[in-house]
């Protein structure tokens, strides 16, 4: 089967991050808050001066900034091809337009997803609003966490709904594209009308798995079957209700496919060349479904700079028609932008007692580096920690990479568990980011397991035993998290996190090597 990066189980889209951060043990450091903005008059002067300075930039500097500016949109375009146009038999997430590709069972090692999460079942897909509004219907779900989140091409989640946000009752939402002049049906309250800024969107649905029994999975599958995405015209023709996905034909996307995209899309960030990236950026800027922001001076200036290379709306970019100096400038800038994003990710991680938290403070409209970092390390992760957060761990308490020949413990104080409104989950992966088969089919520990008694606390402590071989002590075996034989790592998730889990002040326990 095709391996998929960027699927909702994926907290980051490229496996480089493990190696990079593991080599920098102790290199995670807390980041300071952004400085207070200057007075409006001073800011205006600075903006003008900055714009003048940018007009004098060297071509390679323009290219480097363009890499940071467009990386999120480029991955979005590649992922949209995977979900809506790549109909190869082995592509498990091909769903076409306005449909979700569903994960209908707990993810196990045979599922080709990087850094998956076995504590939720997912659905993800791309919405197409070229023909008008699209209606999303969600059934009543009262017995578990669920959320529906919709993202634009800039990585901004402009719709976040579900049990923690607006309740558990059955609801329908309508996304209204720009330029729509018709009437929104009367049964939609204004709280459920979303004015969407573009003609394309990425949606992801999450439903918590608490026990993983066959009966529970069947229940969740029933909920999945009741979630619908329906173009408004079809919704009206169907008696003002959504059409079940099983009753709809797959509508294949018809977006332009740049040369080479099918070959470099998987592992896109690491595979794409300067020529491929800037060709794709040109395609994006001419894609009518992905209009640029209407009120961004910063973006408008970037677009003006890109015209140096004949990249922009209404322009035809042809790598072969560039001068040798222009090609060199794009290649030099592309490499510098790539390296700058990777370097800044390392320095921007918030240190939570050794666990690395990616800063998600929003503002992706103008904070392009933050946007690029999340796109590279965690594409489709939240731009703001409203829904959930996560943290990476690649080394033990001594700063050494994890080794499956050793034994480790992770100890929580029962009075100081990760502070969440929903649940927490700590999966274990190979160094490449995959689940590894084990004799008890356990790939994570989570708060549901603690609540149900599957994990046991003693003397006010919850001790997780992390090792390859099953512990001989029955009490330890109960709390055993099987480790791969070789290296491994963790990516924790916190659904409904309190502030300490996002600002790094929570005392997340370290993983300690047993001597």
Between CA 24 and CA 399 the distance in angstroms is: 9
Instruction: Answer with the residue of higher pLDDT: 145 or 43.
Output: 145
DSSP-derived secondary structure letter, 263: H
User: Does residue 172 come out as left (phi exceeding 0), alpha (psi in the -120 to 50 range) or beta?
Assistant: beta
Going by C-beta distance under 8 Å and a sequence separation of 6 or more, which residues neighbour residue 18?
A: 392, 394, 431, 432, 433, 489
Q: pLDDT per residue over 71-122, tens digit each?
A: 999 999 999 999 999 999 999 999 999 999 999 999 999 887 788 899 999 9
Between CA 211 and CA 207 the distance in angstroms is: 12
- Give the CATH number of domain 395-513: 2.60.120.1600
Residue 128 has pLDDT above 60, yes or no: yes
144 and 224 in contact (C-beta within 8 Å)? no
Residue 43 has pLDDT above 50, yes or no: no
How does residue 428 score in pLDDT terms, banded at 50, 70 and 90?
very high
The whole-number average pLDDT for the span 290-306 is: 97
Residue 435: other Cβ atoms inside 10 A: 23
Return the H-helix or E-strand segment holding 233: helix 232-237
Q: What string of DSSP letters covers 71-121?
A: HHHHHHHHHHHHHHT---TT-TT---BT-PEE--S---TTS-BSS--TTEE
pLDDT at 115: 87
- Furthest C-alpha separation in the chain: 72
pLDDT at 429: 96
Contacts 24+ apart (CB under 8 A), 212-218: 212/106, 212/118, 217/104, 217/105, 217/106, 217/121
CATH of 97-247, one of 2.130.10.10, 3.10.20.600, 3.40.50.2000, 2.60.40.1610: 2.60.40.1610
DSSP-derived secondary structure letter, 353: T
Residue 9 has pLDDT above 80, yes or no: no
Cα 486 from chain centroid (whole Å)? 27
The whole-number average pLDDT for the span 174-202 is: 97
Distances (CA, A) of 173 to 103, 119, 133, 374, 391: 22, 26, 10, 27, 32
Q: pLDDT per residue over 135-148, tens digit each?
A: 999 999 999 999 99
Domain ranges of the chain: 16-81+256-368, 97-247, 395-513
Residue 241 has pLDDT above 90, yes or no: yes
pLDDT at 14: 54
Between CA 173 and CA 108 the distance in angstroms is: 33
């Amino acid at each position: 089967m095709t391996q998929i990066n960027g699927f909702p189980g994926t907290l980051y889209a490229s496996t480089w991050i493990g190696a990079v951060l593991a080599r920098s043990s102790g290199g995670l450091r807390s980041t300071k808050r952004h400085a207070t903005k200057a007075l409006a008059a001073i800011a205006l002067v600075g903006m003008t001066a900055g714009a003048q300075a940018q007009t004098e930039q060297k071509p390679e500097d323009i290219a480097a900034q363009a890499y940071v500016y467009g990386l999120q949109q480029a991955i979005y375009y590649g992922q949209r091809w995977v979900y809506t146009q790549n109909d190869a038999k082995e592509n498990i997430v091909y769903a076409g337009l306005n449909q979700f590709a569903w994960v209908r069972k707990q993810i196990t090692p045979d599922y080709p997803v990087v850094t998956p999460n076995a504590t939720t079942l997912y659905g993800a897909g791309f919405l197409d609003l070229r023909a008008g509004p699209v209606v999303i219907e969600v059934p009543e779900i009262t017995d578990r966490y669920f959320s529906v989140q919709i993202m634009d091409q800039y990585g901004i989640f402009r719709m976040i709904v579900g049990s923690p946000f607006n309740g558990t009752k059955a609801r329908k939402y309508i996304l209204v594209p720009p330029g729509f002049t018709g009437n929104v049906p009367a049964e939609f309250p204004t709280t459920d009308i979303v004015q969407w800024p573009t003609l394309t969107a990425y949606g992801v649905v999450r439903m918590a798995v608490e026990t993983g029994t066959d009966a529970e999975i069947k229940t969740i599958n029933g909920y999945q079957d009741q979630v619908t995405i329906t173009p408004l015209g079809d919704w009206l023709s169907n008696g003002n209700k959504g059409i079940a996905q099983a009753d709809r034909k797959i509508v294949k996307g018809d977006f332009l496919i740049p040369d080479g995209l099918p070959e470099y899309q998987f592992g896109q960030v690491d595979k794409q060349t300067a020529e491929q990236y800037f060709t794709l950026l040109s395609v994006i800027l001419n894609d009518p479904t992905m209009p640029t922001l209407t009120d961004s001076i910063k973006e408008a200036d970037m677009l003006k700079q890109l015209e140096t290379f004949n990249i922009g709306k209404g322009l035809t970019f042809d790598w072969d028609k560039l001068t040798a100096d222009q090609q060199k400038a794009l290649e030099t800038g592309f490499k510098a932008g790539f390296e700058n994003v990777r370097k800044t990710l390392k320095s921007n991680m918030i240190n939570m007692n050794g666990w690395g938290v990616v800063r998600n403070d929003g503002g992706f409209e103008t904070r392009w580096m933050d946007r690029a970092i999340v796109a590279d390390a965690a594409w489709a992760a939240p731009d703001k920690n409203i829904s959930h957060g996560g943290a990476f761990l690649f080394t033990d308490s001594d700063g050494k990479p994890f080794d499956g020949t050793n034994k480790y413990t992770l100890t929580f104080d029962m009075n100081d568990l990760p502070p969440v409104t929903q649940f927490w989950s700590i999966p274990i992966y190979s160094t490449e980011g995959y689940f590894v088969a084990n004799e008890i089919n356990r790939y994570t520990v989570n708060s549901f397991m603690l609540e149900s008694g599957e994990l046991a606390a003693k003397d006010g402590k919850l001790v997780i035993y992390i090792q390859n071989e099953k512990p001989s002590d029955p009490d330890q075996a109960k709390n055993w998290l099987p480790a791969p034989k070789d290296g491994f790592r963790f990516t924790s998730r916190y659904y409904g996190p309190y502030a300490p889990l996002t600002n790094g002040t929570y005392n997340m326990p370290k993983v300690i090597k047993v001597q």
